Copies of this chain bind each other. A is one copy, B any other.
Amino acid sequence: MKAKVYVTIQQNVLDPQGSAAEKSLQSLGFNEVGKVRIGKFIEIELDTNDRNEAEKRVKEMCEKLLVNVEVEDYRFELEG
Residues of A within 8 A of B (CB): 6-8, 18, 21, 24-25, 28, 30, 32-48, 54, 57, 60-61, 64-66
Contacts and interface: CB of A to CB of B under 8 A. Distances in A.
Contact of A46 (B8, B34, B41, B46): B34
Contact of A36 (B8, B35, B44): B44
A80 to B, nearest CB: 12
A36 B43 CA distance: 6
Given A37-B42, A41-B39, A32 B8 contact: no
A45 B40 contact: no
Contacts of A43: 8, 35-39
Given A30-B57, A57-B30, A64-B28, A39 B36 contact: no
